[in-house]
Chain A
Amino acid sequence: MSAEFDITETLDVKGASCPMPVVKTKSAIDDLAKGEVLEVLATDPGSMSDIDGWASGTDGVELVDQEEGDDVYKHYVRKTE
């Protein structure tokens, strides 16, 4: 685990499939303050590409890191505004 950022909240969307990981990430990010980081735990392999695409196409969020574990995909999204 990288220690460059502090995790404010963790969202568990394990088991959920498209489009729920992205949709729930968006809702969870809305509840955070600027600068805070959301950790998203997913089992949907498509979430690697989808959360990346969502973060680059959406204002006010930044994808800080993604990790591909054995069965869990971890995403770290920072709220930037």
Chain B
Amino acid sequence: MEVIAQTTVNALYASSYTALMAVGLALIFGVMGIINFAHGNLFMVGAYAVWWLYAVNGWPFFLAVAGAIMVVGAIGLLMERMLFRPMRDNPLGGLIMSVGVLFILEVLAVFFGLGLMKHVPPIYPGSVVIFGIPGATIPWQRLVVIGAAVLLLGTLWAFLRQTRLGWALRACAQDREAAALQGIPINKFALLAMGLGAALAGAAGGVMAPIVQVDPYIGHKMIVTAFIVIIVGGIGSLEGAVLAAILYAFFHTWVTTYIGGGIATTLGLVLMLVVLVVRPTGLLGTAERG
């Protein structure tokens, strides 16, 4: 009972940051048709931003996270304007550009952080007991991650469903050409999608900074997980990304608890291959693109 409750809470926490990453990646693919390989490193930049603002310069934690969102969002806007836009007609070109960004961000982080692991102290030390079961606890910092994911993804969902801007963005994701014919400026919405997607990655990195050890390579694990999730969910589908994030996080956490951490990711990759073989366009994916 204790272990089940604990594993469930851990899985909820894992779904939160996975969903933050995967939804951003799916949004970028949906609107721009680009797989952003640098997404994991945007997460890493977010974590470094919080380390620098909060742990080094003593800003309040949530202000530092807001700073991380701004910084990473700005990087996203720059990437779209300077790198992705000239490649608009070449689906592989955008991907290659993002590989270039991946390399560059990594070296900049080594330079900036001098390659050492950075420790970021948690905002509220300690844990809370969950469901009244004494052995099952969750650290406050992990609750912050869950809260941030619910808040940010809820806001995004409301934005996409309730505002005209959000409608237009979803129209771009559904069919770029048809959206352009309706007078939607595609370039502006590509900027919006890239900015939002990058900001989500920055937010994930920011709130995760006190939990993970911040180093230049933390993005790698994130990007592998995020790839698995968006493939299983169907690339470009936001609902699919959230659903797949929850499924995958539960699967991964359960396997880690009962079998072992090393095998969990391998099984995840195999699971993804199986999904692709059965449905070559993902669980909720529709038409083939690219």
Co-complex (A, B): no
